[in-house]
C-alpha cells in the first residue's frame, strides 16, 4: 500500500468533509479499503465433490487475474463459449484449484467467476468442553461486503473495545451472517456437540481499524 498516497487522499477528504469522524469516516475507510484490496487476493466461490460425487464442499479460493483468464480461455472451445463448470475438471490437479477432502483429492464442479469476495481473518474461541474450560482458538475467515467492512471499521475506530456480542445488538443481520459463515467453517463439536458454544474476535478488522486510526491521527497532526 502506498501510504503517502493514502495520507494525501485522507487529508483531502477531511478538508472537503470536515474534521469530525461522522463527516469523513466512511470516505476515509472506503479509500483505505480500495487500496487494501489492491494488495490482497480476490476469492471466488468454488464447489468441490468427492470422487463418488456424494459429498460437496463449498470453498473460497484465491485466484489471480491470470488464473481466472486461464479458466475462461479453456471454456472457449472451437470458438464457442462453454459453461465454466464444463471445463473445471481439467484444473483439478492445478496448483490453484487443487483441494483435498477427508478422503483424498476433491473434484471442482462449479465456480462463480461473476462475484469477487474478500475474506478477513478472525479468531474463534470454541468451548468444546464447557464455558469454564480453556477454549480452543481457531484461525478462520469471514466474507464481508465493502459496506459491511466499512461499518465494522467505523465502529472499531470510534469504539476500539467493541465486542462480538455488541455487534449482535447493533447490527443483528451482520452478526448472524458472520455466525453462519463461521459455523460452516468450524469442525464438528461446535454445532452438534454437547457444548455448542463459541465466540469470535474479528482480529483483522480490529487491526485494520487501529492502523487506520494511527494514519488519521498523523494526518490530523
How many alpha carbons fall within 13 Å on the CB side of residue 159?
A: 10
Q: Give Cα separations from 219 to 18, 167, 212, 213 (angstroms).
A: 13, 29, 11, 10
DSSP string, 85-128: GGGGGGGTTSTTT--EETTEE-EEEEEEEEEEE-EEEEEEEEES
Backbone angles phi, psi at 46, to 5 degrees: -130, 135
3-class secondary-structure state, position 60: strand
Whether the full predicted model's pTM is greater than 0.85, yes or no, is: no
Q: What is the pLDDT of residues 156-177, one digit of tens each?
A: 999 999 998 899 999 999 999 8
Does the pLDDT value for residue 185 go beyond 70? no
Does the pLDDT value for residue 74 go beyond 80? yes
The DSSP bridge partners found for residue 43 are 62, 117
CA distance 153 to 95: 34
Residue 131: CB atoms within 10 Å? 9
Higher confidence at residue 132 or residue 151?
151
* Domain limits, the chain: 42-117, 120-220
- Mean pLDDT across the chain: 85
Residue 137: is it exposed, middle or buried by C-beta count within 10 angstroms (0-12/13-18/19+)? exposed
Q: What is the pLDDT of residues 191-221, one digit of tens each?
A: 444 445 778 899 999 999 999 999 999 998 7
Cell numbers 491470470 label which residue?
66
Amino acid at each position: 500500500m502506498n501510504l503517502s498516497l493514502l495520507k494525501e487522499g485522507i487529508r483531502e477528504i477531511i478538508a472537503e468533509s470536515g474534521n469530525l469522524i461522522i463527516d469523513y469516516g466512511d470516505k476515509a475507510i472506503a479509500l483505505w479499503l480500495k487500496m487494501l484490496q489492491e494488495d490482497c487476493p480476490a476469492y471466488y466461490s468454488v464447489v468441490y465433490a468427492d470422487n463418488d460425487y456424494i459429498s460437496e464442499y463449498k470453498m473460497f479460493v484465491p485466484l489471480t487475474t491470470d488464473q481466472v483468464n486461464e479458466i475462461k480461455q479453456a471454456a472457449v472451445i472451437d470458438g464457442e463459449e462453454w459453461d465454466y463448470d464444463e471445463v473445471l475438471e481439467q484444473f483439478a490437479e492445478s496448483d490453484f484449484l487443487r483441494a483435498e477432502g477427508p478422503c483424498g483429492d476433491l473434484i471442482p464442479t462449479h465456480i462463480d467467476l461473476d462475484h469477487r469476495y474478500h475474506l478477513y481473518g478472525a479468531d474463534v474461541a470454541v468451548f468444546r468442553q464447557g464455558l469454564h474450560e480453556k477454549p480452543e482458538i481457531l484461525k478462520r475467515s469471514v466474507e464481508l461486503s465493502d459496506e459491511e467492512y466499512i461499518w465494522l471499521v467505523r465502529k472499531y475506530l470510534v469504539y476500539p473495545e467493541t465486542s462480538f456480542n455488541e455487534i449482535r445488538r447493533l447490527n443483528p443481520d451482520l452478526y448472524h451472517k458472520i455466525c453462519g459463515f463461521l459455523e460452516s467453517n468450524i469442525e464438528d463439536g461446535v454445532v452438534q456437540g454437547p457444548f455448542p458454544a463459541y465466540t469470535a474476535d474479528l482480529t483483522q478488522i480490529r487491526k485494520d481499524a487501529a492502523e487506520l486510526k494511527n494514519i488519521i491521527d498523523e494526518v490530523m497532526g
